Amino acid sequence: MKTLFDQTTKESHSKDTNDHPSIKRYKERMASAASQATASKLSAVQLREMCLELGADDVGFVEIEHPKLAEQKADILNVFPWTKALICIAGRINKENLRSPARSIASLEMHQVLERLNHVAHTLAAALDRKGVRAANSAAAFPMETDQWPGKMQVISHKTIAVAAGLGKMGLHRNVIHPVFGSFVLLNTILIDTEVDAYSSPLDYNPCLNCKICSAACPTGAIGPDGVFNPINCLTHNYRELIGGFSDWVENIVDSKNSIEYRSRISDTETVSLWQSLAYGPCYKSVYCMAVCPAGDEVIPQYLDDKSKFFETVVKPLQQKTETVYVLPGSDAESHVLRKFPHKKIKRVGNGIRPASVAAFIASMPLGFQRHKSEGLCATYHFTFRGNEQVETTVVIKDKTIQVKQGHVGVPDVRINADAKTWLRVLHKETPILKEIIFRRIRVKGSMKLFKAFGDCFA
């Protein structure tokens, strides 16, 4: 039975629908749009002009269905379900600022370019919205989705988009190298709900010269001359005052009994540097790999004209800089600094990375693997986790490489059966592993020497 309220509401809604000025104007616009032949796709030429006028230095366009975006597609559609195309913009970095041994100058340069890219993306999205095109701009860098730490925090992987959009290729240092600007670029992306009439083509060559200068300049040895990259060692040092490094600093404060003990853990210089990052934006400890890269049409002449001078004026000032290098205890990075940069100070730290689940632990193993620490090890490990996470996995370490496979594969040298929560508590250093083995919450069958060797492969 309809009530008086239902009837009144229906009459009121009908009156609003017929008489409200906003609804009248909307219907008029829709009628006008229907009577006009409008383009179904946005002009790539006009979009490019808009981006350049707003302050971008280069622009590329890629469709959401591009094969290179397959792994990102679900994440992109999760934040902007209407995405049909992506606009990738590049901002050029001042070379001399990034090359400066004064890292505050380099960091400030990056912050300024990031701010410009965020402004370009925001302004472009607003302009497209006024034209009736749905658009969402992501962050060029921070902030990120911190609730997903230590997993994938970024909404969009700009590097993948940039490569697909023809703005460059990934170099040995795992940064995008632009064909003209080289490594001296930062990136941002705008998502739109309308197709573009012309998409960019990926570069048909890689601007990377494979000169390995980035490897020679990296203070942590994270960039192997053979192409192997260790992201954990890079993150621990370069991002010392960001994300995980900041967490480690907070824990040092909490664990200190008083100010004297705090100063024995954290120097006054480090405290002031952390204050600077909090007040003025994060200070990157390195990014030397970008600073010394000679690739790109604008950069390569200085390198080719006089390689010796390039090394003397660009590379050596960073190599010879007296500085603190932050490393995980027992890591390949620690060994690298001792061997290659004995004049640099080593500080053992944590990086705040603690897997929140067994699944995360399994996924993180290839990232945290310290290959040089595994030298001489050849073993197969079968893991069986029970409790709240029931997972079986196989880890094969051989020839300084690691393979992680789903399920139990092959004949194991060591079998590890562990309660999932207990294993995570050991990883988080909340309980000693020997205690858990004694109480059989973790069971090891096979060589304990090989089991210990497994642990030594992860700093």
Average pLDDT, the chain: 92
Please say whether the beta carbons of 382 and 266 come within 8 A: no
In the chain, % of residues over pLDDT 70: 93
pLDDT bracket for residue 119 (50, 70, 90)? very high
β-pairing verdict for 345-348 and 324-327: parallel
Question: Looking at the predicted structure, is the pLDDT value of residue 12 above 90?
Answer: no
Torsion of CA 181, 183, 188, 189, to 10 degrees: 80
Predicted pLDDT of residue 143: 67
Q: What is the pTM of this model?
A: 0.89
Note the pLDDT of residue 37: 38
- 28-32, 62-66, 376-380: least confident range: 28-32
Tell me the three-class secondary structure of the chain, residue by residue: CCCHHHHHHHHHHHHHHHHCHHHHHHHHHHHHHHHCCCCCCECHHHHHHHHHHHCCCEEEEEECCCHHHHHHHHHHHHHCCCCCEEEEEEEECCHHHHHCCCHHHHHHHHHHHHHHHHHHHHHHHHHHHHCCCCEEECCCCCCCCHHHCCCCCCCCCHHHHHHHCCCCEECCCCCEEECCCECCEEEEEEEECCCECCCCCCCCCCCCCCCCHHHHHCCCCCECCCCCECHHHHHHHHCCCCHHHHHHHHHHHHHCCCHHHHHHHCCHHHHHHHHHHHHHCCCCCCCHHHHCCCCCCCCHHHHHHCHHHHHHHHHHHHHCCCCEEEECCCCHHHHHHHHHCCCCEEEECCCCCCCCCHHHHHHHHHHHECHHHHCCCCEEEEEEEECCCCEEEEEEEECCEEEEEECCCCCCCEEEEEEHHHHHHHHCCCCCHHHHHHCCCEEEEECHHHHHHHHHCEC
For the chain, which residues make up each domain, given as ranges?
44-192, 213-348, 358-456
Mean pLDDT of 34-54: 81
pLDDT of 18 above 90: no
Output the six-digit token pair for 334.
């620690």
Q: What is the mean pLDDT of residues 128-157?
A: 87
Q: Mean of the pLDDT values across residues 67-78?
A: 94
CATH homologous superfamily of 358-456 = SCP2 sterol-binding domain (3.30.1050.10)
Check pLDDT > 60 for residue 4.
no
Give residue 33's pLDDT band: very low, low, confident or very high (50, 70, 90).
low
* pLDDT tens-digit map of 267-312: 999 999 999 999 988 899 999 999 999 999 999 999 999 999 999 9
Q: Give the pLDDT confidence score for residue 38 in this predicted structure.
A: 46
**Which residue type occupies 219?**
P
pLDDT tens per residue, range 315-362? 999 999 999 999 999 999 999 999 999 999 999 999 999 999 999 999
φ and ψ at residue 62, rounded to 5 degrees: -145, 140
Least confident range of 65-69, 140-144, 415-419: 140-144
What is the rounded CA–CA span in Å between residue 175 and residue 94? Answer: 16
Mean pLDDT of 402-430: 97
